Amino acid sequence: MNICRGNPAGHEVLVDSWPNFKAVLTRPRKEVATDNSDFYANMHAAFYRDLDAYRALLSSPGAINWAQTFRIHGLQDSVYEASREIAGAKGFQVYPSTYLVYLLPSSSAIPDVSSKLDPAMRLSNLDVSHVDLLNKTWYYGGNEWSRRYIDMLIRSFPSICFLDAAGHPISWNITDPFGAMSIGYTLPEHRGCGYSSALCFILAQKIQAQGYPIYGNVALDNHPMQRLQQWLGFQRQTNLCRIILHSPVPGNLPAWVLPDF
Ligand SMILES: CC(C)(COP(=O)(O)OP(=O)(O)OC[C@H]1O[C@@H](n2cnc3c(N)ncnc32)[C@H](O)[C@@H]1OP(=O)(O)O)[C@@H](O)C(=O)NCCC(=O)NCCS
């Protein structure tokens, strides 16, 4: 949907055959993935109806730039098996991480807590002056690639935040190139007051009004966010989201990749 609506992240789609495709791979255009180590920008998504067709697509000449570190997102378990087999044969190290997927059937399901919030907090959108704060606080942030990625998200996708009386963000949420709510965060001193709930409510309405599904991925050990998603009415899906990092050996990876992955 993002590709059809102006393609702000500069992605393109490969299929095994057309029109009766059995496997789909999305990838960034060459001019987007210019830094061989930047797996934040170098994001792919995979879907298949036929695993052999997906394997063939992944290993077909030119489908993947094997000079680069990259990640593949997929909701099907065998996306990881295919990566391990095909990238492994090319001498790549593969780092999978697994997330729960939460989908909200309708934004009207969310309880509106806005009347209980501190009226001094002002609702706003994120802007590029907030990039450093998001990069510093994001679990997967803290490097120059993540900084560029957050900058791109803020410029290209719907975002929302609460600003305190001094105009500093205290809680925020943003959607990513796959339409997922991501990088949600509340400063520790403001947690438990309903800010994240209120932002989810407002962002979900925005996303729904634009015709996108409302969903997000949550780490398996992030119990506060899982409780919050459930409280807000999100439904946990049976499929897990796999994000598979592919890195040539030796790789140039941020410290958080190991040993968590
Ligand atoms: C997860 C996170 C974003 C939640 O932000 P938050 O602003 O504290 O969220 P809320 O206040 O809306 O909800 C948190 C809790 O407060 C409760 N709550 C909601 N509205 C409330 C209100 N008006 N008064 C009191 N409590 C309230 C919620 O039920 C929830 O309860 P729980 O702690 O039992 O789960 C925050 O903990 C955070 O930044 N964590 C680190 C980053 C992170 O994990 N991000 C998510 C990545 S997927």
List, as one string, the DSSP characters of 103-170.
EES-GGGS---GGGS-TT-EEE---GGGHHHHHHH-TT-SSHHHHHHHHHHHHHS-EEEEE-TTS-EE
Nearest atom, ligand 1, residue 182 CA: 48
Could you tell me if the CB of 231 is within 6 A of ligand 1?
Answer: yes
Does position 260 have pLDDT exceeding 50, yes or no? Answer: no
Q: Are 170 and 133 in contact (CB under 8 A)?
A: no
Nearest atom, ligand 1, residue 222 CA: 44
| pLDDT bucket at 207, cuts 50 / 70 / 90 | very high
pLDDT of residue 40: 96
Could you tell me if the CB of 185 is within 6 A of ligand 1?
Answer: yes
Could you tell me if the CB of 173 is within 6 A of ligand 1?
Answer: no
Does position 66 have pLDDT exceeding 60, yes or no? Answer: yes
CA of 194 relative to ligand 1 center, distance in Å: 6
**Residue pLDDT, tens place only, 72-112:** 999 998 999 999 999 999 999 999 999 999 999 988 878 77
Could you tell me if the CB of 184 is within 6 A of ligand 1?
Answer: yes
Instruction: Give the span between the Cα atoms of 249 and 91, in whole angstroms.
Output: 7
